[in-house]
Each structure stands twice: as C-alpha cells, then as structure tokens.
Amino acid sequence: MYPRYILKNLLIALQDTPCVILIGARQVGKSTLLKQLLPIDSHYITFDDLNYLAAADADPVGFLENYKNKTLILDEIQSVQKLLLAIKDAIDSDRKPGQFILSGSANVLTLPKISESLAGRCEILHQYPLSSTEINNRTQNFVDTCFESPTSWQEGEIDKPTLANLLFRGGYPEVQTRSMGRIVPWFQAYLTTLIQRDIRDIAAISDVAGIQKILLLSARRACNLFNLSDIARLSGVKNTTVQRYFSLLEAIFLVQRLFPWNKTLDARIVKTPKLFFLDTGLLTYLLGKSHETIASAQDHTNGVLFENLVHCELKKHISWAQESTNLYFYRTHSGKEIDFLLERNQRKIAIEVKFSSTVTAHDFDNMKQLQKEDPHLFDKGIVLYTGKTVIPFGTHFQAVPIVNLL
C-alpha cells in the first residue's frame, strides 16, 4: 500500500471541523484512504451499495439517526444529494468536530444548491492520483522547499526509462502494478465508466459521443490557452454545450483550468486560463502515445506531457503542503510567459519547465525581463529541468533538477 500524505491533513481537519469532504477522481484511492480511519470510532458506508443508496434516498434524516455518536464516513456522496441537506441540518444543530467524512468522485460543490448548503460547515480536501514521491516513498514537499530560505535542493538525474514510465503510467494506483500491455485497456474501461455512468449520474446527459469528442480535442490542446470557440468549431458543437460538457469533465476531475495571476486589471496580461489534465497517464492514452514512442524521446509531444506532469505534481504537493498555496501561470499579450507561479502569504515563486538535461542563461530571459518590469512580481525564479546539478544563475535564479519534484 502506498503512503498518502494527505491523510495527515484529514486527521487534523477532523479535530476542529464538523465535516470534511474528500474529493477526487474515481480510482485515485479515496476509499482505501478512508478505510484506514476505521480503527477510530467510525462507520463506513459506500453508496455504490444500492441498498444503502435506497435507504438514504428514501429517508435522509432517519438514515443519519442510525449512526449518531460515531464519525460517519460516506463514500460516493454525489449519488445521494438529498443526504447533503440532512447533513447540513445535523451540523447546524450540533457543531461537534469530526462528525462526518464525505467522499465524492464528482465535485459536490458543483452540484445544484449544494455549495451554499455546505459553505462554512465543511473543510474540503482534494485527493489526487499518486504523486511520484508517494510511489517512491519520499517525503520531501517541493512546494514547501520552494519557500524555504535558503532552499535545500537535492542533486540527481532522472533516467529516461523512469521518466517515460512515469509519463505513460500516470498516478492511478491500480495502473502502477499493471504490465505495459494492460495499461491501455485499463484507461479504456476507466473512461467508459466515467462517461457512461458518472456524467449521466450528475447531469443526465446521453450524448456520450459529444463528451468523448470534447475530451479528445481538449487532450490535443493540453498545456495551451483554453479556447472554447476553437473546440466548438472543430467539434461541431455549440459554444454553450462545449462549456457545459467541459464543466462536467472538470467536475469528475479529468481536466482543470489553470488561471493566470493578475494583481490588477492590467491590459498587458492574458486573462484566458490554460488547460491541463489531472493525470498525465490519461493524457498520454488520449493522445494515442505508446510507451515505446515516449521512451524514444523522438516525439515533440513529450514536452507537453512533461509540462502536464509538472502541473500534476505541483497540485499534489500543494494538497499536503504545510501552508495554503495557490498555483497560477503568468503571460503577457506580447508573449512573455512564466509556466507556473506559486503564491503563499504574498510571496511568489516563478517556475519555468524545460524538457532538457541542459540549461542556459537564456532560459531565464523571460523571468528576468518580467522581474525588471515589475520587481514585486516574484521573489525568486526556478527552471526545472531533467539535468542533475543545482546551478545558480544570479542572486534570485536557479536551475533545479526535476528529481526534487519527482
């Protein structure tokens, strides 16, 4: 069993919060994590069990009454929305910490009327697929290290077979133990379940082909600015429908928009979000890339997969970091861009991603130019690369080996 570093945050939240919601894609290991809590005074129920589902739907208040005085762990909560309103009422009458742990494979905060019902009553934690550090049982948090002064980076190089394996497999726990030939069938079955079951459950959409088309077109635009009109034109689907379908893909944690950092309504700065996938293995599958193609390093899409991988790992490290941290990107209309911008307590770290084992002073040009234009834009700049040496490029700039994130 792999360590899940978000468990510590979950246990801390239960000490002072009536309800904790653990959200994340299907098959990322939420149920496994929740069952680790069973030795405490708790009761675990999954609404994948149709008997529990029917009972909770028929009488939500009476259902909760049966499990008083225990921490009630309710898995796949998105399947029975009526129960969320009963939970709200139960918390309003008793604010005792640690009463409920809710888990959902769809973002319950996107469901009608649910967000306002749970506001101020629950702490929300996001469980992502396995991080590389969890797979390799390493505990260093890259995001926390970024904000240390001085930073304590490790030197070391990731070999090409290991990186290719990470790009191809991604982070879903079940994929880690599969042979190479059995990974593609897993992703095929996984997407079929998500589209034909989960999306229909939360939105009653029968246009499976339309959803699949939007997903494939999104994969081809990963790590780029999200252009809804372009996807609508190529898919032959109306803009409003594309927006709805894409929101559903976000709600089941397949894709995510990364928004630009902007302190003011500065006309120089691009406001359009960038598009990322929350698992690089899934993106690799959708792009039709084989392990052999990735390992050969001849494919230009490897740079896209690498940037998507960095985004995924940053989001995972943020989820169990010591302090709240936000992730953005930065881009001006003139084309100057910073791939990622970490923000914590008004401090910002700029991160550029380079799919190469070498780095030069020119790789810092954009960051240095943007810092010259706005000295308060960020505190220090990092180029993440596949080489093995930590290299300073001036007082506030460093090249850092990717092994520190992976």
What average pLDDT score do residues 298-327 get? 91
Confidence of residue 48 (pLDDT cuts 50, 70, 90): confident
CB-based contact 132:169 (threshold 8 Å): no
CB-based contact 256:278 (threshold 8 Å): yes
Integer Cα distance of 151 and 384 in angstroms: 14
In degrees, to the nearest 5, what angle opens at C-alpha 241 toward C-alphas 185 and 116?
95
Omega before residue 150 within 30° of 0, cis = yes
What average pLDDT score do residues 300-311 get? 90
Question: Angle of helix 208-219 relative to helix 228-235, nearest 10 degrees?
Answer: 130
Residue among 328, 341, 391 nearest 363 (CA): 391
pLDDT of residue 156: 93
pTM of the model: 0.92
pLDDT at 389 over 60: yes
Integer Cα distance of 48 and 45 in angstroms: 9
pLDDT of residue 80: 83
pLDDT at 83 over 60: yes
pLDDT at 399 over 90: yes
User: What is the percent of the chain where pLDDT is above 90?
Assistant: 55
What average pLDDT score do residues 330-335 get? 81
pLDDT of residue 70: 83
Task: Give the chain's largest Cα–Cα span.
Answer: 66
What average pLDDT score do residues 235-262 get? 89
Question: Which region among 24-28, 172-176, 194-198, 282-286 has the lowest average model confidence (pLDDT)?
Answer: 194-198
pLDDT of residue 166: 94
Question: Which region among 170-174, 229-233, 274-278 has the lowest average model confidence (pLDDT)?
Answer: 229-233
Tell which wins on pLDDT, 43 or 351.
351
CB atoms under 10 Å from CB of 331, counted, come to 21
Q: What are the structural domains of the chain?
A: 6-127 (3.40.50.300), 133-404 (no CATH)
Integer Cα distance of 208 and 295 in angstroms: 33
pLDDT (tens digit per residue) in 340-372? 999 999 889 999 999 999 999 999 988 888 888
pLDDT (tens digit per residue) in 109-150? 665 556 666 767 888 899 999 999 999 999 889 999 999 877
What average pLDDT score do residues 324-344 get? 89
Question: Which region among 24-28, 93-97, 257-261, 333-337 has the lowest average model confidence (pLDDT)?
Answer: 333-337
Integer Cα distance of 128 and 315 in angstroms: 8
What would you report as the CA-atom Rg of the chain, rounded to the nearest whole angstrom?
22
CB-based contact 364:381 (threshold 8 Å): yes
pLDDT at 235 over 90: no
Confidence of residue 300 (pLDDT cuts 50, 70, 90): low
CB-based contact 283:219 (threshold 8 Å): yes
Q: Which residues of 96-112 are buried (b: 16+ CB within 10 A; e: fewer)?
A: eebbbbbbbbbbbbbbe
pLDDT at 23 over 60: yes
